[in-house]
Amino acid sequence: MPKLKTRRAAAKRFRVTGSGKFMRRRAFRNHLLDHKSPKRKRYLGTMAVVDERDHDRVSHMLPYSG
């Protein structure tokens, strides 16, 4: 069997935790930040866990992630 290729776009967007979960960025922190509160912007800057329903999709895009 040939080696599987990693989807490079997914590799730039997701990180794997030590327990095997995928972390992602939160949406809505790119522009139009003027009216958003500092508390909200701090929260949007944190990482979030990928939902369990999307876990299989992400793991297929990152075959050697663990």
Note the pLDDT tens digit of each residue in 5-32.
Answer: 999 999 999 999 999 999 999 999 999 9
Contact yes or no for 29/44 (Cβ under 8 A)? yes
Nearest to 44 by CA among 53, 35, 55, 36: 36
> What domains can you pick out in the chain, each with its CATH number?
8-61 (4.10.410.60)
Give the pTM.
Answer: 0.87
> 32-63: per-residue pLDDT in tens?
999 999 999 999 999 999 999 999 999 999 99
